[in-house]
Structure 1
């Protein structure tokens, strides 16, 4: 195989191939370089040509400007601007002369060429008499204008200037056309040269492909084919040896990986039926701080714990379960006196007919056990806190019921009761014989009766509004806001945004009514608000009631922490009541800006 490869390498003759490649690359590089130099020269030449054409056009503009300024000067009668107009004509004439001279003779600063084509020289020579006449006539006209002499000859000079400028413009047009013609010839010539260089480059590439790349490619393909054939033979000869070696190596790797995984990831140990340690994994040994070099007594129970009672329990489990195995959670105490919880499995393994071992596999569940204990403690504390809250709520509910009953009793006794007593005395004092006084007392009794009826209605409205049972929650809340507006003088508005008109369960309706009543009363009593807006909206599943006020607001988090205060208990009662009907309450308040309370109740 080596001889064949050497023979093919000699056939390829890499030195000759290297020389051919270098020659081809140098040829292509030279053609590209020449092309770039030619392109750059052409671009520079085109820039100069465009500048010449541009300045030639400007020269025509300057001649027209000169004629215009002379006409303005000739027709001017304002002596104040006379000197300025003469100066402008002189400035334009000087610039026109300088530009014409630069175009004709060349100029290094403006990069105008000094050498010109015969056609261009002839055109400039033909133009020269007209230029000389324009300069001479303009200077003579300016001299006469400065000494303030007006004569028919001046008009002749002006006409001479204008006639020659017209001739100058036509001849200048021919010069510009000649410049454009010469520039086009240069571009065409450059284009032809570029095509020639491109054709030469393509020819070089074709010759390289034909005489270098193609033969070399065939020889390299032949060499690669021979090498592949030799490689297949070598692979076939070594295949059996490699397969056996790979199987052996994989087996060793698997054993090493298994041993490493068991040592560093599992808490495992091999013990005898008498509880003596045969081998303990590295991770388990680090956890138990067990070192077989220093621990002469290789007892598994003593390695697990230093507490004698726990050691006896472990020895008893090993003695009882050495044949059937055991699985369970085991609490021990490590050498630092800290509790250690292990999820342990003891698996009996028979090594020989008469030899038995126990494979112990453990999982450290100390963190989980600590978490479970902590969760139990928190649950107990939470349960106690909820019981205490319910006790406080129950006592406050009873207290509120007593206060409400006392308030109703006072309203009936102090209000309705006194009006009824007054009604009784007024009826007894009527003297039918005195018709005038009787009529006055009857009118008074009518008014008193109306007040009694109003007081009875107010008391019954506070207990249970008739609109709630007759017409539902929407009508009762509308009536509530209207009555409270009249009684308190506050601006309380109610909006049924989604035109809700359904009837709900009576228990849900009364709780919604009481929640809304409590929210409005809090806004009146504590928030010191002047405007209160009650909005009702609903979807397919939720009825939402929002109470907004423009009062002084409060810090919700600080109030909720004060469970023993009146405001804190009020929020707690409100949330308990809405939770009772499976709803949720959301309280948002900003001190100094106002409060929004939202109740969401499933329907």
Structure 2
């Protein structure tokens, strides 16, 4: 009766614990599901926010693209190309307008909300006049270009677009920042909500620990104590000869398994102090291609057929049979292949005054091959770098020699000949013949002006006086003007942020040379007709962008041609920009044009 009552009480207790476990699991499951639903809802809202921020950032790019295309169209004279540029501007303008209206008014299909915060409404209101001005000016500009009239008005329209584009970018930056700030507020709210759910879950776990797990633990401890007591009694009853015999049999099986594992997994053998082989493992014998039933060979003869290597191994066994030895050996097997073994010799005492060597090996041939290959690759890499540096040095010296020869030719063929002519003309003046003397003096004046112009051209190529006198902005402006006059191409310069600071002379000359190199490449290789040089800056970065409408090139292919003129040109450009801790970005599309941007810390 007592046992039945006890069983009934135990069943009642377990049923109660089971109900409590089910309740606890359901509570945790509901909490997790609610938490996931809330997280998924907030993630969906954040995806919409990220899309809005991305589209808002794209608006800035579209406004810059629209301005660039208007500037290019303003200088295009070819009718067919003008039509292509007008079509491209219409596409950009249409996309820009539709995107802006969707951001401002909202779009359900794109997930853009129609309701906005007061701050965003105020920002869209403030940006609207500049947006409308750009749209109106661009539209009128396109109409004038289609009808081929009002060129003066077009210049005013281009100026209007440039003036409003900078303000539009600034306002758009504020809108993107505001969208980002509001998204951050949503994430902060979500994090607080998750903290509340997390705290609630911890509270449930604590209550379950107190009212469910602790009582269950006590009950289980009692059951385990009873089981352990029963086990001890069973072991005492089972402790007899049969169990001892079974234990011995298991030990024999374990020894056999251990011996089999050593034979087939380890490279090991037993060697007598005189070097003769006592026993060799199966895996080791397969590696060395040795018949283990042949017992008339020493360990050194088993390892290698090469006599010199046998003498080295025998000497090691003779000297280290008492102290042991560990090291790496390179041997040649019977096929003539080179093997590397990591060998450990351990002295083992069998009986009094009777010992042997237990030799355990690891095949490290592949590792050694890998190490040799890594060493070869490192050596090859160093050699390539040295050769590349030699090429760069030789090209620098070659360019210096070419520049010196060019200057010498200019001075000899141009200035030198004019000075010689000046000398002879001066000597031939006859003051008695005033009319001819006056004519020669006028000729000498013109010749003197040509000489002065030649000297100025030569000195401008060496070191433009604008650079040392007025700085980088004035020198780049002068450079574009001079090259535009010389080549007849449209080369324009814009100081977008009105940068007027002076930099270190070394930085200024490198910036000037980089800009000069980029413009010359656009003229020489890209066959460009329009080149736009834009300068802008922030508090830490000075940025110079050179855009051309040339034939473009494949950047990867050019960089691979290290020995060609174009490949070396890119390499020199990168070397020079790195010298002043700057960075260069090159983006080129074949048959469309190239953009090169230099960013220099200031």
Q: What secondary structure, in the 3-state scheme, does the structure 2 residue paired with 1:346 have?
A: strand
Match of 2:234 in 1: 238
* Cα distance in 2 for residues equivalent to 1:544 and 1:242: 89
Cross-structure match for 1:590: 589
Is residue 398 of structure 1 aligned with residue 401 of structure 2?
no
The answer to whether structure 1 residue 311 and structure 2 residue 307 are counterparts is no
Q: Which residue of 1 aligns with 2:565?
A: 566
1:279-322 deviation line (CA, Å, top 9, x unaligned)? 444543443334423x3335322332232222221111111111
Could you list the per-position Cα deviations for residues 97-131 of structure 1 after superposition, in whole angstroms to 9, with x for gaps in the alignment?
xxxxxxxxxxxxxxxxxxxxxxxxxxxxxxxxxxx
TM-score norm. by structure 1 comes to 0.52
Q: Give the 3 Å change call, closer, same or farther, for CA 409–339 of structure 1 in structure 2.
A: same
Q: Look up the match of 2:326.
A: 327
- Partners of 2:269 and 2:278 within 8 A in 1: yes
Q: Could you tell me which residue of structure 1 aligns to residue 287 of structure 2?
A: 287
The structure-2 alpha-carbon separation of the partners of 1:553 and 1:231, relative to structure 1 and needing over 3 Å to count, comes to closer
Which residue is equivalent to 1:26? Answer: none
Q: Contact 2:583 / 2:598 at 8 angstroms: preserved in 1? A: yes
The residue that corresponds to 1:517 in the other structure is 516
The residue aligned with 1:107 is: none
Matching of residues 370-449 of structure 1 within 5 Å? 370-424=369-423, 445-449=444-448
Say yes or no: does 1:451 pair with 2:450.
yes
CA distance in structure 2 between the partners assigned to 1:529 and 1:271 by the alignment: 83
Q: Aligned partners of 1:304 and 1:498: how far apart in 2?
A: 79
Mark the CA change 1:395 to 1:428 in structure 2 (over 3 Å): closer, same or farther: same
Secondary structure, counterpart of 1:514 in structure 2? helix
Secondary structure of the residue aligned to 2:552 is: coil
| Cα distance change on mapping 1:526 and 1:311 into 2, 3 Å | same
Report what 2:276 is aligned to: 276
1:489 aligns with 2:485: no
Q: CA deviation at 1:528?
A: 0.6
Q: Which whole-Å CA distance do the structure 2 matches of 1:540 and 1:258 have between them? A: 73
Q: 1:509 to 1:283 in 2, by over 3 A?
A: farther
* Residue of structure 2 in register with 1:477 after alignment: 476
* d(CA) in 1 for partners of 2:498, 2:254: 75
Work out whether residues 272 and 356 of structure 2, in 8 Å CA contact, stay in contact via their aligned partners in 1: yes
Within-5 A mapping of 1:163-182: none
**Cα contact 1:543–1:600 (8 A) shared by 2:** yes
> How many Å separate the matches in 2 of 1:537 and 1:321?
76
Residue 334 to residue 575, structure 1, CA distance change in 2 (3 Å): farther
The answer for the alignment partner of 1:30 in structure 2 is none
Query: 1:526-537 counterparts in 2 under 5 A?
Result: 526-535=525-534
After superposing the two structures, state which structure 1 stretch, 333-342 or 465-474, moved more. Answer: 465-474
CA distance in 2 between counterparts of 1:285 and 1:339 reads 16
Alpha-carbon shift at residue 237 of structure 1 (Å): 1.4
Residues 6-62 of structure 1 deviation map (CA, whole Å, 9 limit, x = unaligned):
x99xx9xxxxxxxxxxxxxxxxxxxxxxxxxxxxxxxxxxxxxxxxxxxxxxxxxxx
Question: Is residue 297 of structure 1 aligned with residue 308 of structure 2?
Answer: no
Q: What whole-Å deviation, never above 9, does each CA across 1:459-491 have from its counterpart, x for those lacking one? A: 111112234344444443343233222222222
How has the CA–CA distance of structure 1 residues 254 and 539 changed in structure 2, closer, same or farther, with 3 Å as cutoff?
A: farther
1:493–1:532 contact (8 Å) kept in structure 2: yes
Q: Equivalents in 1 of 2:470, 2:432: separation in Å?
A: 49
| Match status 1:350 vs 2:332 | no
Match of 1:464 in 2: 463
Structure 2 CA distance, aligned partners of 1:386 and 1:228? 72
CA change 1:549–1:228 in 2 (3 A) is: closer
1:319 is paired with a residue whose SS is helix
Contact residue 535 and residue 543 of structure 2 kept, 8 A: yes
Partners of 2:473 and 2:268 in 1: how far apart? 72
1:338 aligns with 2:334: no
Q: Can you list the C-alpha shifts for 1:139-177, whole angstroms capped at 9, x where unaligned? A: xxxxxxxxxxxxxxxxxxxxxxxxxxxxxxxxxxxxxxx
In the alignment, which residue of structure 2 is the partner of 1:553? 552
In the alignment, what sits opposite 2:366?
A: 367
8 Å CA contact 1:559, 1:568 repeated in 2: yes
Q: Which residue of 1 aligns with 2:29?
A: none
> Separation in 2 of the partners of 1:601 and 1:315?
68
Contact between 1:553 and 1:589, CA under 8 Å: does it hold in 2? yes
| SS class of match (1:270) | strand
Mapped to 1, the partners of 2:579 and 2:257 lie a distance apart of 61
Aligned to 1:203: none
Q: Which residue of 2 aligns with 1:61?
A: none
- Give the equivalent residue in structure 2 for 1:267: 267
Q: CA deviation at 1:265?
A: 4.8
2:507·2:580 contact (CA, 8 Å) conserved in 1? yes
TM-score by length of 2: 0.52
Query: 1:16 is matched with which residue?
Result: none
State the 1:551 CA deviation.
Answer: 1.6
CA contact (8 A) 2:277 2:295 kept: no
Alpha-carbon distance, 1:330 to partner: 1.0
Match of 1:528, SS state, is: coil
Q: How far apart, in 1, do the equivalents of 2:501 and 2:264 lie?
A: 68
**C-alpha deviations, 1:401-450, integer Å up to 9, x for none?**
33222211221122223333444455556677888877776665555444
Residues 292 and 298 in structure 1, CA contact (< 8 A), matched pair in contact too:
no
Moved more, 568-577 or 483-492: 568-577
C-alpha separation in 2, matches of 1:549 and 1:248: 89
Structure 2: give runs of 5+ residues left out of the alignment: 9-222
Query: Whole-Å Cα distance in 1 between the matches of residues 493 and 450 of structure 2?
Result: 27
SS state at 1:493 partner: strand
Are the counterparts in 2 of residues 481 and 494 from structure 1 also a CA contact under 8 Å?
Answer: yes
| 1:382–1:450 distance in 2 versus 1, CA, 3 Å | same
Q: Please give the per-residue CA displacement for 1:326-382, whole angstroms capped at 9, x wherever unaligned.
A: 222211122332211122222323344423332333332212221232233334444
Larger radius of gyration: 1
1:341 aligned counterpart, secondary structure: strand
CA contact (8 A) 1:542 1:601 kept: yes
